[in-house]
Amino acid sequence: MTIRLLVMDVDGTLTDGRICIGADGEMMKTFNCKDGYGIKHLLPDAGITPMIITGRNSTILARRADELGITELHQGVHDKLPLLRRLMEERGLTRNEVAYIGDDLNDLEAIRFAGLSGCPADSTQGIIDVVDYVCRRDGGRGAVREFIEHMIRLNESEAGR
- For residue 59, give the DSSP letter: H
> Does 66 carry a binding-site annotation?
no
Closest CA to 156 of 42, 34, 37: 42
> Does 11 carry a binding-site annotation?
yes
Does the CA dihedral 63-11-109-79 come out positive or negative?
negative
> Does 129 carry a binding-site annotation?
no
Q: Report in angstroms the alpha-carbon separations of 143 from 23, 123, 127, 161.
A: 31, 11, 14, 27
Does the CA dihedral 54-58-64-67 come out positive or negative?
positive
| One-letter amino acid for residue 127 of the chain | I
Q: Report in angstroms the alpha-carbon separations of 47 from 4, 64, 76, 141, 151.
A: 6, 21, 27, 24, 11
DSSP 3-state of 3: coil
> In the chain, what is the straight-line distance between the N-terminal and C-terminal CA atoms, in Å?
11
Q: Residue positions in the annotated binding site? A: 9, 11, 103
Q: Residue positions in the annotated binding site for Mg(2+)? A: 9, 103
